[in-house]
Structure 1
Amino acid sequence: MLDAITWAVWGQARTRTQDELIHQGQTDMVVDLEFSARGQTYKISRRHSRKRGKQGASSLELQLFSDGTFIPITGNTIRETEAVVKDLLNMDYDTFVNTAFLLQGKADLFSSSTPARRKETLAEVLGLGYYDSLALKARELGRDQDKLITSIDSNVAFHAEELEKRDLYQSNLSSAQSNLSDLEKSMQIALSEKSFIESKIDKLKLTESMIDASRNRVKSAKAELQQLQMSLERFQTELAEAEKIQLKELEIGKKYSALQQALLEEQLISEKGAKHKDLSDAANKLEQSIDIESTRLKERIQSMQNQIDGLSVLSAQLPELNKSVSLMEQQKSDLHKLKLNSEQLDKSISTLETKSAVLNNENSLLKKTMDDTRQKYDYLNLDEAVCPVCSAALNDKKIKALRIEYESSGAEAKAEYLKNQNQVAEVGKEISFEQAKLSEINEQAANLSAEISTKEDSLRREIAAAENAEASIKNLSGELLSLQNRLSSSSFCNLEKLKLVQIQSDLDSLKYDSQKHESLIKLIESLKPYEDSMRQLNQAKDSINLINENISQSSMLLESRSKEIKQATQEIIDLEKDLVELPEVTRQLDEVLRHSLGLEKQRAHFAEETGRLRERLDHCERIENQINKQMKTRKAAEKESRLLKDLAGAFGPNGIQAMIIETAIPQIQDEANEMLFRLTDGGLSIRLDLTEGRKDRSTGNPSEQLEIRVSDEMGTRSYETFSGGEAFRINFAIRIALSKVLASRSGAPLPILFIDEGFGSQDEFGQDRLKEAINFIRDDFEKILVITHIEEIKDAFPARIEVEKTSSGSTFKVIS
């Protein structure tokens, strides 16, 4: 049970490996343990499975009881979860077995440890690791403050050079501002001069625009004048054409009347032509339908003839197929005979095998009889042979008679035995012969059966196909004869033929003359141009007055545009005189612009320089403020660093830890001596001394060791010189003292003492003293768990857990 508890909590027990804890014959183990620590209830579950030839698989889960259920708080790995458990219990496995757990055979685990290891265990019992972590944290924080101070010093030194240039930046800024002011005045003068010249140029540009507008007006007027001249000429040409067409009015009227008469006649004959075409198209369609039906009948007749020819081939095979059926029936009869022969041979073989078994059984009995006779015969050769019936001694005569009887009986049995053997051999030959013959018959029957099975299905299908072909030929022949009669007597498409006769009659009564129609169309084509001539004649009559009016208007506009061109040309000459001074004024403006541009570049340069210098001065001011803040931070960091170094020393081995150990050692020593006084009637006492050990490589300071000095009536001696019983009582007293310190430690979650055996090395007096000592310290612990097999020790404690091993596993019961 204790192994299960320590393995579940720390993953360690008394065995070297986890696999050794698994019950024999099993491959895995699991422990679920609920415990209380720091006012909370926890549940830990650890599982391990071993695999042959491979490393076993383990798992660890930790849960916290909250609101009536367990909530998982397992870490990402087993190592992380074990660290959480260790923090909860505030101890590891080694501290547990050195203090609260007196392991069987290892009660001296603390006493027999090295002085340095004793000091480490004591520090763990007193919880000094917490102060080590505080000292380490203080040193880490102190190093962080030292790094901050170094960084601030480096930063201040880097920016000091920039602050030294602040006076130079201020002087250069004043000079740049003065130059910038002078340039601003010069630019104002240049801008006034530029505005005057630009105003003058704008006026000259306006004059130039007016000249361009006049030139465009002259150009437009000339183009319009040219257009008017062309329009006047076109109107005069149209007037001549119209007058020319009026001279042909009589001819055009006569031809146009002939065209209208021809068009009227063509319309009437076209209606007859349309009817003629529709009737002809209908007749063509009917003729095509009749031809198609005739072709279809011929194709059906040919298709049926082809089917009849193909079916005739199948039908002709029917007599031959019937012969094959007769042959197959003969094969079935042969197969039946083979099966009858096979059955007869099976019966014959069974009879022979039975006969052989009977003969072999007889020979077995004969062999036993011969063996018995031989034993009896050999028995007669003994010196003290007696009668096998009455047990009386046998004389030579009786022995001789028995020998003759035994020899005769043995010879008869042997002869019968040999005879049976010969018969068995003969029967065996007959069986082999019959079996060979049976195998041959069975093989013939199997081959014949397979052949019949294969041919029978094929013949059945072929006969069915031939019979169906014969029936189909009869049906198709009647249908073929009917189709041939329809084709030869033209008994098809009767309705279409009647319609065709009617259409032909309608065509004859229509009396449409296609040649006359074609001649009329040619006449219309020859008179068609006079339709346009009539339209042109009518247009000419209507347009002569309009053309005369257009000629009059064009002449008036032509005269008006000529006057406008002359007036605009004179205006251009007058305006061009004012543009003579434009090049000089433009040159003056270019000069002023170049001067202004130079001033603008200088102003931009000095403005940029002024901004740059102001930025540098602002930067210097920011640096100064930053340095002041950093110096305040540095001062605080120096103070914090000194404080953290003091804390590191206070939390270190020579500070609070030394004070705690110096206070705890007398307490442990007094507790142990009080227990030893009870166990030895004041015969033994101990003294715990702190001594210097080896120097620590990292700090250079000597480590501390804990020495155990034991005193008795003979003086002070080393622990190793005491006997087993005395050594156990010393170990027991020291371990009880350590356990009491551990149980009373602030925040200790495990105020329980475990004692595993250890009573066997004590005599009756020593055992009584141990029981008294355990009862004496019972109020210092919440629970004391004692493991023992000694009845007297068990009876000393009223509350017990009795464990009993059975064939199906261990069982327990609680006695209180």
Structure 2
Amino acid sequence: MIPLQLTLKNFLSYRETTLDFRGLHTACICGANGAGKSSLLEAITWVIWGQSRAASDDDIIHAGAEYVRVDFQFSSNSQIYRVIRARNRGRNSSLEFQIENGGDFRSVTAKSLRATQEQIISYLKLDYDTFINSAYLRQGRADEFMLRRPNERKQILADLLKLDRYEQLAEQAKDISKQFKGQAEQLELSLQPIEKQLEQKDTVVSQLTDLEKELIKFQLLQESDREKLLQLQAGEHQRQSWYQQLTWQQTQYQNLLQDCERLKTEQIELKNQIAELEKFLDREPEIIAEYQQLLSLQQEEETLSLKFQAYQDAQQHRQELEQQLIQQTNELNLQIQQRQTRLESLQQQEQELQQILSRSAEIQAGLEQLRYHRQRLRELDDLQHQVSPLLQRRYTLQTNIERVQARLTAQLEQLRFSEAQYLEELAKVPEIRQAALAVDAKIQELEKKQVYQKRIEEKGQERKSHKERLQTNQKICEEQLEELKEKLKLLQIPNPICPLCEQSLDEHYRHNVIYKTRNEQQEIQEQIWSFQEQITAYERDLQNLRIEYKQLQEELTSYTSLQQQFGQLEAQLEAVSEVNSKLKQVREEIARVEYLLSSELYAQDLQTELQLLNQEIQRLNYDEQTHALVRGEVEKWRWAEIKQAKLDDASRRQSAIDAEKPQLVAQIERLQTQLNQLRTSSEIQRQIERLERYLNELGYERSRHQNLINSLRQAQPWQLRYQELKQAKQQYPQLQNRLQQLEQLLQVRLGDRVTMKEQLDSLIAQMEKTTDNREEIQALEAKIQQQQRQIDEFLAQQGRWEQTLTQLENLQIQYEENCKQLKEVKKQYRIYQELAQAFGKNGIQTLMIENILPQLEAETNQILARLTGNQLHVQFLTQKAGRSNSKRKNSKLIDTLDILIADARGTRAYETYSGGEAFRINFSIRLALARLLAQRAGTALQLLIVDEGFGTQDSEGCDRLIAAINAIAADFACILTVTHMPQFKEAFQHRIEVRKTERGSQLILSN
């Protein structure tokens, strides 16, 4: 990735700026601390990957702004790309990805932000983690790799190389191998009972032959008895037919008797209804006369209702007109009252204005005093502007001198504190050595418990595997049991179908199959009970193993902390040898700082400048108290300026009042005239009078109307009587016809009753002559059923033996298939077991680290040689000898990643090198790691960013570091270095100066 152009809008300290990288090969980004140098680099990581040092995306938005936008153009693999990322505060981000095509950019943005991000990484072949650990050497993280413990370094290297993928593959291979192992054990267990069952095949064939002979004998006897039974059943069937016919005739005779009684009852009821109608028809003249009277009253009520409606409308119209008259009168009264109130208010304002206008001379005198004191205040303000910078500079110098003194005092206290710490460390050496021995003994004891815990875990896995196999077998048996239940349900249906051959079963074979199925069902149920007992036993064992495992796990929780504690104690013992030399250096530094403080020989240039400033301040002779008094006089006489403004306003208001008062008086008189006319001669008043005359002429009486309504209500029932009379005239001939039909039907039913009685007597006589054979039939049926039960038992036994023989044949096929499957499962188990070892930490992962370390070591030493003039050399070790033990003759090799650093005096620890030397070592290792990671990501490392301080380097070290960067410049398309030290500006081809202003950070590009 080669940067071309970066445009920022409201990003961190930048308001709006653009940086063109074209033509930049090696460039230095310089500026004061906090100016925004690192923010340029954070903008690149945010726009491409959406990540930065900020806790949230809203934090990168410039203070006071509502949105942020970064536009970045770069080239990769000879293709130019453009990425635009923007965000509004409190909302989601937007991402645009474009590719240059013929001078213009073409969008290749995906449907979602996540898909677009994945597309950018796919084109770049570089993710965020690889970038910050390769091309981007971030500030403050140069020594992060070196300061880790050896085993942690190896883990960091594995993480950078993304070897965790192989760890996941190893875990997956282990899980799959465990599954195949469990399948193999389950198959071996399932083969044992099959072999025992196959041994019973010869016995089953012999038993089946004997049973078939007995079955044929009983079937012949049964056929003879069935023929005799059929003859007897034919005679009994004829007798039952006559009996059913007699029963039906008796039922019909009873129904006929009930029908005759019902017709007689209905005849009586109709005669009663006809008599009632004749009485009602006799009142016809009276009902017609009352009905005519009702119609006359209704006609008169309609006439009065029309008059009432007209009376109501006229009353309502008069009320509306009276309301309008009242409303207009009130409006005129309100207008008159408003103008009178305004006139009174103007008179009161006129009195107040006269009081203000009377103080005109006093206000003019106050204004003269105000002008004089303001002129004096301006003179003192000019003098203050000259003195203020001098006072501020004096305060700054005094603060800096006090700060130097405080820094020396704090340094002295820190040195004395360090001296006390070194003395305490020397006193604790015997105690630390004894503690290390005690921790080592505890670690050895816990290692033994780890071995025992592993054995418990293996036992638990074994019990769990057996339990799972039993649960599988139990599930199979339960499924078989459900199938047998379904089979029994099918056999309960009349004329069932055989579940095996799909042919109809007769009664004999059906009982045989049911008996055999129930026996098989009982056997399977017993197997399920056996499996449940064994599962319970395994669960009890597993519970005990879990309790023991948990106890050991709690005891082993301190194992890691003890190892860390032992490593810390060893490091403390190794560091004791340096304490004496450091103590001597601290005491020399204490003596030097005490001399500076006692003689006040610090900050000499600041003290000289302070004396000159005090002389200049005395020459100007500025008095802050006099300045304050004059400022008070100005505030004192400002009332005259305020009063003058009020005086001018009073004059304007008096003129306006003089013009408005005559207009108000004329308006009041005009409104009074309109009010008098409205009450006497208005159109509304005339309409009201006309309505009153119309009401008098209408002549409507409310009492007469009410009496008529009451009479009409009393006569209303005669309308119902009239309707009932009409209905009675229609029903009377219908009821007479119905009565004649009932009498004719009753005569027919009586004749049918005599005929049916004769038929019943004839059937009873025939039944008495027929013989009853039911007892003989029942005895013969009982004998046949006994024979059928015996045959069913033989058939059930035959079915069981045949099913057993079929099961043995199926078991033989299953046995052969299971043997083949067992062979294949064992093969797969061995394959995945080997894959788990190959993908594990001691397999491909270790091999990859060991293969890459020589390349990393050679690359590091090549860069380090340029930085140190071939004075330092780095070596990586992946194994070392473990702790010696009196009980063990040979020490065990431990996996590690130690870094040995050698110079002209030999090999020394990393901590013994100075800050400049340590930085050069860190820089070399980080740069070598950067190259290797970029190569493994499948992309060339064309951009290098060094965001590290050079303050730890002396002049020669800085020259070597700059020379090394320039020496490797040919390997990169663009190198950016970040520093706040001014002396490095001229060391690079180009400079990008960052300055912080009121308008945000600004960039200045120079050669």
**TM-score, normalised on structure 1?**
0.52
Preserved contact between residue 47 and residue 83 of structure 2 (Cα < 8 Å): yes
Q: Distance in 2 between matches of 1:706 and 1:135?
A: 23
Query: For 1:101, which of 122, 136, 139 is the aligned residue?
Result: 136
Q: Distance in 1 between matches of 2:336 and 2:803?
A: 128
Residue 653 (str. 1) matches residue 653 (str. 2): no
Range 629-638 or range 353-362, more displaced: 353-362
Query: For 1:600, which of 777, 788, 791 is the aligned residue?
Result: 788
2:842 is paired with a residue whose SS is: coil
Residue 709 (str. 1) matches residue 900 (str. 2): yes
**How many angstroms does 1:675 deviate by?**
2.0
**How many angstroms does 1:336 deviate by?**
12
* Number of the residue aligned with 1:146: 181
In structure 2, relative to structure 1, the CA distance for the partners of 1:63 and 1:180 (3 Å cut) is farther
Residue 730 (str. 1) matches residue 926 (str. 2): no
Larger radius of gyration: 1
1:177 partner amino acid: E
In structure 2, relative to structure 1, the CA distance for the partners of 1:475 and 1:766 (3 Å cut) is closer
In structure 2, relative to structure 1, the CA distance for the partners of 1:61 and 1:594 (3 Å cut) is farther
Q: Distance in 2 between matches of 1:40 and 1:689?
A: 42
**How many angstroms does 1:690 deviate by?**
1.6
Query: For 2:163, which of 128, 134, 142 is the aligned residue?
Result: 128
* Number of the residue aligned with 1:111: 146
Q: Distance in 1 between matches of 2:907 and 2:803?
A: 85
1:111 is paired with a residue whose SS is: helix
In structure 2, relative to structure 1, the CA distance for the partners of 1:96 and 1:90 (3 Å cut) is closer
Residue 745 (str. 1) matches residue 927 (str. 2): no
2:183 partner amino acid: L
In structure 2, relative to structure 1, the CA distance for the partners of 1:295 and 1:15 (3 Å cut) is closer
In structure 2, relative to structure 1, the CA distance for the partners of 1:335 and 1:89 (3 Å cut) is closer
**How many angstroms does 1:5 deviate by?**
3.6
Q: Distance in 2 between matches of 1:814 and 1:776?
A: 23
1:70 is paired with a residue whose SS is: coil
Residue 71 (str. 1) matches residue 114 (str. 2): no
1:250-309 superposed Cα distances (whole Å, 9 cap, x missing partner): xxxxxxxxxxxxxxxxxxxxxxxxxxx9xxx9xx999x99x99999999999999x99x9
1:388-410 superposed Cα distances (whole Å, 9 cap, x missing partner): xxxxxxxxxxxxxxxxxxxxxxx
Give matches, 1:237-252, under 5 Å.
none
* Number of the residue aligned with 1:267: none
1:638 is paired with a residue whose SS is: helix
In structure 2, relative to structure 1, the CA distance for the partners of 1:64 and 1:606 (3 Å cut) is farther
2:783 partner amino acid: H
**TM-score, normalised on structure 2?**
0.43
Q: Distance in 1 between matches of 2:787 and 2:1004?
A: 112
Give matches, 1:220-619, under 5 Å.
342=344, 345-346=347-348, 349=351, 352-354=354-356, 356-358=358-360, 360-361=362-363, 460=679, 467-468=686-687, 470-472=689-691, 590-619=778-807
In structure 2, relative to structure 1, the CA distance for the partners of 1:303 and 1:96 (3 Å cut) is closer
1:100 partner amino acid: A
Q: Distance in 2 between matches of 1:628 and 1:174?
A: 28
* Number of the residue aligned with 1:505: none
2:806 partner amino acid: D
Preserved contact between residue 134 and residue 934 of structure 2 (Cα < 8 Å): no
**How many angstroms does 1:802 deviate by?**
6.9
In structure 2, relative to structure 1, the CA distance for the partners of 1:158 and 1:352 (3 Å cut) is farther
Q: Distance in 1 between matches of 2:182 and 2:123?
A: 32
Preserved contact between residue 204 and residue 805 of structure 2 (Cα < 8 Å): yes
RCO higher in 1 or 2 (8 Å CA, sep ≥ 6)?
2
1:654 is paired with a residue whose SS is: helix
1:709 is paired with a residue whose SS is: strand
In structure 2, relative to structure 1, the CA distance for the partners of 1:639 and 1:41 (3 Å cut) is farther
Q: Distance in 1 between matches of 2:815 and 2:830?
A: 22
1:689 is paired with a residue whose SS is: strand
Q: Distance in 1 between matches of 2:974 and 2:95?
A: 26
Preserved contact between residue 876 and residue 899 of structure 2 (Cα < 8 Å): yes
**How many angstroms does 1:683 deviate by?**
1.8
* Number of the residue aligned with 1:683: 871
1:33-86 superposed Cα distances (whole Å, 9 cap, x missing partner): 7889999999988788888xxxxx88697989999532146569x9xx899979
Preserved contact between residue 48 and residue 120 of structure 2 (Cα < 8 Å): no
In structure 2, relative to structure 1, the CA distance for the partners of 1:693 and 1:782 (3 Å cut) is farther
Q: Distance in 1 between matches of 2:767 and 2:160?
A: 119
* Number of the residue aligned with 2:911: 720
Give matches, 1:188-199, under 5 Å.
188-194=223-229, 197=231
* Number of the residue aligned with 1:397: none
Gap runs ≥5 in structure 2: 1-39, 101-105, 254-284, 374-656, 700-757, 884-891
Q: Distance in 2 between matches of 1:805 and 1:337?
A: 67
1:669 partner amino acid: E
Q: Distance in 2 between matches of 1:68 and 1:17?
A: 27
**How many angstroms does 1:140 deviate by?**
2.0
In structure 2, relative to structure 1, the CA distance for the partners of 1:680 and 1:285 (3 Å cut) is closer
Preserved contact between residue 169 and residue 839 of structure 2 (Cα < 8 Å): yes
In structure 2, relative to structure 1, the CA distance for the partners of 1:712 and 1:366 (3 Å cut) is closer
Q: Distance in 2 between matches of 1:644 and 1:684?
A: 46
**How many angstroms does 1:145 deviate by?**
1.6
* Number of the residue aligned with 2:602: none
In structure 2, relative to structure 1, the CA distance for the partners of 1:683 and 1:336 (3 Å cut) is closer
* Number of the residue aligned with 1:664: 852
Q: Distance in 2 between matches of 1:475 and 1:347?
A: 57
1:493-551 superposed Cα distances (whole Å, 9 cap, x missing partner): xxxxxxxxxxxxxxxxxxxxxxxxxxxxxxxxxxxxxxxxxxxxxxxxxxxxxxxxxxx
Q: Distance in 1 between matches of 2:156 and 2:162?
A: 10
In structure 2, relative to structure 1, the CA distance for the partners of 1:715 and 1:335 (3 Å cut) is closer
In structure 2, relative to structure 1, the CA distance for the partners of 1:45 and 1:692 (3 Å cut) is farther
1:542-572 superposed Cα distances (whole Å, 9 cap, x missing partner): xxxxxxxxxxxxxxxxxxxxxxx9xxx9xx9
Q: Distance in 1 between matches of 2:307 and 2:86?
A: 94
Q: Distance in 1 between matches of 2:160 and 2:315?
A: 114
Cα RMSD of the aligned pairs, angstroms, is 6.5
Preserved contact between residue 208 and residue 801 of structure 2 (Cα < 8 Å): yes
In structure 2, relative to structure 1, the CA distance for the partners of 1:44 and 1:164 (3 Å cut) is farther
In structure 2, relative to structure 1, the CA distance for the partners of 1:362 and 1:26 (3 Å cut) is closer
**How many angstroms does 1:462 deviate by?**
12
Residue 181 (str. 1) matches residue 216 (str. 2): yes
Aligned length: 556
Preserved contact between residue 879 and residue 893 of structure 2 (Cα < 8 Å): no
In structure 2, relative to structure 1, the CA distance for the partners of 1:89 and 1:152 (3 Å cut) is farther
Q: Distance in 2 between matches of 1:795 and 1:742?
A: 31
Q: Distance in 1 between matches of 2:796 and 2:47?
A: 78
Query: For 1:633, which of 805, 813, 821 is the aligned residue?
Result: 821
Preserved contact between residue 693 and residue 705 of structure 1 (Cα < 8 Å): no
**How many angstroms does 1:8 deviate by?**
5.7
**How many angstroms does 1:668 deviate by?**
1.5
In structure 2, relative to structure 1, the CA distance for the partners of 1:58 and 1:157 (3 Å cut) is farther
Preserved contact between residue 126 and residue 741 of structure 1 (Cα < 8 Å): no
In structure 2, relative to structure 1, the CA distance for the partners of 1:86 and 1:583 (3 Å cut) is same
